[in-house]
Every structure is written in C-alpha cells, then in structure tokens.
Amino acid sequence: MTLKPTFFSRLVAQTERFQVANAVPAISLKGLTKSFGAVSAVDHLDLDIASGEFFSMLGPSGSGKTTVLRMIAGFELPTSGTVELNGQNVTDLAPFDRDVNTVFQDYALFGHMSVFENVEYGLKVRKLPKAVRKAKVMEALDTVRLADLAERRPAQLSGGQRQRIALARAIVVEP
C-alpha cells in the first residue's frame, strides 16, 4: 500500500493480510493527519490493521512512522482524523486509558528492579493478586526464553535480553 506522498512526508506501508471477513479492525486510522506548524508529518492516513495481522511501516527518517505510532498510543494528538481500537474511537483518550502497549527503543526498564519486577510492574498497577502476577510473569518470561534471568537487574543483561524483557513487560498485560 502506498500513501499519497507530500513534500514533507512520505510513508510506505507494507502489510500481509490475515483478515477474517467483515471483522472489526484491531486498529483503524481514518484521515489521520499530524502537522507541526507548516510541516505535515502525516497526511490523511487511512489504514486498517486486523487482529493477529503482521504489519510493518517502512520509510526514511522523518517520514512519519514514529508519529503514527505515537498517535495510536495516545502520546501525540492528531491534527485531524481518528484512531479506533477494536471499533472504539480512542482519539481523545489518554495513553493509560487505551488498551495498547508501547515498547520504546530505549526499553525504558527500571534499573533498580529485577527482571521479574520489571515484567510484573503493569500487573501490580492493575492490582492483580500476587499468585496470578507470578504465574503471568513466568509465562511471559518463558515466552521470551528468559525465565532463568528473573532475579537479575537490567544492567546485568545484554541489549538483546533487555529488548526481550521490554517485550515481556508489554505482552504480560495482554493488551
């Protein structure tokens, strides 16, 4: 899929479809636009992403990829257009009111906490019982094949291991 390019923004999206007929898209962007003064970072983006679909955005630096992700997560408000998650308009909802997780490039791990505590954090905030938290954390750590490092601190891990811990922290809350 190629989006209409503007002078300041060109975004090329490539997707493989695994859609169920007539299913409500997990993510739907309608006329999504973001301008920073005279600069148009994203220009009237229309996009549906099905649940379970593998999706990637490809483009040069400054083409709007991160801006689109920030608008989906709620960290950036669009100039116009809407963001829908599972059929619900969430354009004006705060990030913590959206059922999405973001894995930042710097991983944003808490250095003073163990791997287990980092992954557990979102479940603790949601006030899940301790036994449920432990089971979910260990399942997430098993998924990323790092259960044996649960007691270590982030500084004791390689970059790839830190990335997998950040991923475990995102998936453990089942967004």
Sequence-ordered list of residues with C-beta below 8 angstroms from that of 50, at least 6 positions apart, any chain: 17, 18, 19, 20, 23, 25, 26
Which homologous superfamily does the CATH classification assign to the domain defined by 12-96?
Answer: P-loop containing nucleotide triphosphate hydrolases (3.40.50.300)
Q: Side chain identity at 4, as an amino acid letter?
A: K
pTM over 0.75: no
* Domain coordinates in residue numbering, the chain: 12-96, 115-171
Per-residue pLDDT of the chain (175 residues; tens, 9 = 90+): 334 444 333 343 433 444 455 578 999 999 999 998 888 899 999 999 998 887 888 877 778 888 999 999 999 999 999 999 999 999 999 998 988 877 666 677 888 999 999 999 999 989 999 999 999 999 999 999 999 999 999 989 888 888 899 999 988 988 7
Which ranges constitute the DSSP H helices of the chain?
A: 65-73, 115-125, 130-143, 159-171
Q: How far is CA 39 from the centre of its chain?
A: 25
Sign of CA dihedral 82, 84, 90, 96: negative
**Which residue is listed with tokens 């148009």?**
40
Q: Which of 55, 162, 48 is nearest to 103 (CA)?
A: 162
CA distance 36 to 61: 16
